Amino acid sequence: MSFDAFVARRLRDSQGSLGRMLASWMSNAHNELNQFMKQAMCLEPSDRVLEIGFGAGKLIREMAHITTNGGVAGVDTSTAMVSRATRNNHKLISSGRVTLVNASVESIPFDDAAFTKVCSANTLHLWPDPEENIREVFRVLTNGGTLALGFCSENPPDGQPLARHGFALCSEDSVMALLRLAGFSRIEILQEKRRQTTLYCALATR
């Protein structure tokens, strides 16, 4: 097994000390994409936001400081990340402004129309069944609610070997098609150049 393949496997697992270290590195690598996605969502104080795949919970905390009259929730399949994000956001959780759950996009443990906005960065390629999972996202959004999906381009530039093992492989066309299939409207894909990569954020309305 190559080193790149080994790292990719551990990133998906995120268990144990090595998994946590690699997940932390991945979180830092995704910071620019998270910031781009957050800006694109235009959060309001009254928004109720769900993040799918929150990792260490940095974006959760930032969004909670904006949604002072709403709230933020998150689902993540990694128990290690849920524990870490819980520690990083313990005050916000204690105050009732943040809720974090160990769960999958396959079955989001919240009521229909629970959120005004849903976001996720670089997780779409890891969803078990994107066509079914996007319908689950659609379910928990209010009418008129916004979905923001952050991703990096397929065919990444040289120097990004992890992409060969299932990370950050999305195309604009495939994301657009998936959102249309689920019934989303007013779909647009924003992009921004950052150093040697291009960041993308798909915005869609329920």
- Residue 63 pLDDT class (50, 70, 90 cuts): very high
- What integer pLDDT is reported at residue 20 of this predicted model? 57
Tens of pLDDT, residues 134-144: 999 999 999 99
Tens of pLDDT, residues 96-129: 999 999 999 999 999 999 999 999 999 998 999 9
Distances from the Cα of 87 to the Cαs of 83, 91, 100, in angstroms? 6, 9, 11
Return d(Cα 19, Cα 132) in angstroms, integer: 28
Distances from the Cα of 159 to the Cαs of 41, 42, 60, 120, 173, in angstroms? 30, 32, 29, 24, 24
Tens of pLDDT, residues 144-200: 999 999 998 654 444 444 444 444 457 899 999 999 999 999 999 999 987 767 899
Return d(Cα 206, Cα 194) in angstroms, integer: 29
Longest dimension (CA), the chain: 49
pLDDT above 90 for 71: yes
Scored b (16 or more CB within 10 A) or e, 124-156 reads bbebeebeebbebbbebbeeebbbbbbbbbeeb
- What integer pLDDT is reported at residue 171 of this predicted model? 87
Tens of pLDDT, residues 2-59: 434 444 454 445 455 555 555 555 555 578 899 999 999 999 999 999 999 999 999 9
- What integer pLDDT is reported at residue 17 of this predicted model? 57
- What integer pLDDT is reported at residue 29 of this predicted model? 57
8 A C-beta contact, residue 119 and residue 49 = yes
Return d(Cα 147, Cα 45) in angstroms, integer: 17
pLDDT above 80 for 76: yes
